[in-house]
Amino acid sequence: KAGVTQTPRYLIKTRGQQVTLSCSPISGHRSVSWYQQTPGQGLQFLFEYFSETQRNKGNFPGRFSGRQFSNSRSEMNVSTLELGDSALYLCASSHSRGATDTQYFGPGTRLTVL
Amino acid sequence: QKEVEQDPGPLSVPEGAIVSLNCTYSNSAFQYFMWYRQYSRKGPELLMYTYSSGNKEDGRFTAQVDKSSKYISLFIRDSQPSDSATYLCAMATGGSNYKLTFGKGTLLTVNP
């Protein structure tokens, strides 16, 4: 079974631009969560989507948004990029929702904001 | 105070050593405790999952949870160079609004 895939793997943007990252979950998985990983803050939860609806949200500004499509693929968007948005953005999928459902992570998208 | 504290290391040990990795937490609502391993340029992968206090063993890995002290540990026996990675503890509350809260991770290097 193919794992979680994320595209693109690397991105370089400038301040003020916007960016869209894509995540394809494992086949059959309906829950997709997004995380931001930085050396200073570690891995932080952004949001979770299940059945095309945002079910949970972390403490990030409204510039960070996402959506999920009917095939469970998900995108996240960051508008008006800031230098501090430079990070590894990880997507994780699970079969359903809940702490007992293992989350499988993709390799991440490395975003650099100049 | 952060909800989850983890010593970032780095930790360097010789091959065959016993490794102890630890996290403390402040949120008594955490019920589920996990350890993830992250190799360089890869996403985290789940190593161990425990619910409630006590020990859980899987091969060379043992996860320990002490809810009364709000302290969790991961022990690696007979460590191998292939164990070199960043180890992240993660915790979650129950219910439909659950989300994973991670420690910052400990970088482990096992030297041959």
pLDDT digits (tens, 9 = 90+) for A75-101: 999 999 999 999 999 999 999 888 778
Q: SS3 of A42, please?
A: strand
CB-nearest to A97 from B32, B88, B96 is B96
Find out whether A92 and A64 touch, Cβ atoms under 8 Å. no
Residue B94 burial (C-beta neighbours within 10 Å; 0-12, 13-18, 19+): middle
Q: Is the peptide bond before A107 cis (omega within 30 degrees of 0)?
A: no
CA distance linking residue A45 with residue B85, whole number of Å: 21
CB contact under 8 A, A43 and B49: no
B94 CB neighbours in chain A (<8 A) are 99
Find out whether A63 and A79 touch, Cβ atoms under 8 Å. yes
| Interface A-B: count of C-beta contacts within 8 A | 59
Residue A45: which residues within 8 A CB-CB, separation 6 or more? A33, A34, A35, A56, A58, B99, B100, B101
Q: Among residues B67, B55, B89, B73, which one has the least CA distance to residue B18?
A: B73
The tens digit of pLDDT for each residue in A5-16 reads 999 999 999 999
Phi, psi of A83 (to 5 degrees): -55, -35
Find out whether A22 and A78 touch, Cβ atoms under 8 Å. no
Average pLDDT over residues A32-46: 94
**Chain A residue closest in CA terms to B93:** A99
The tens digit of pLDDT for each residue in B12-49 reads 999 999 999 999 999 998 999 999 999 998 999 999 99
pLDDT at B95: 75
Please state, for a pLDDT cut of 70, what percent of chain B lies above it.
Answer: 99
Cα atoms found within 13 Å of the Cα of residue A96, Cβ hemisphere only: 3
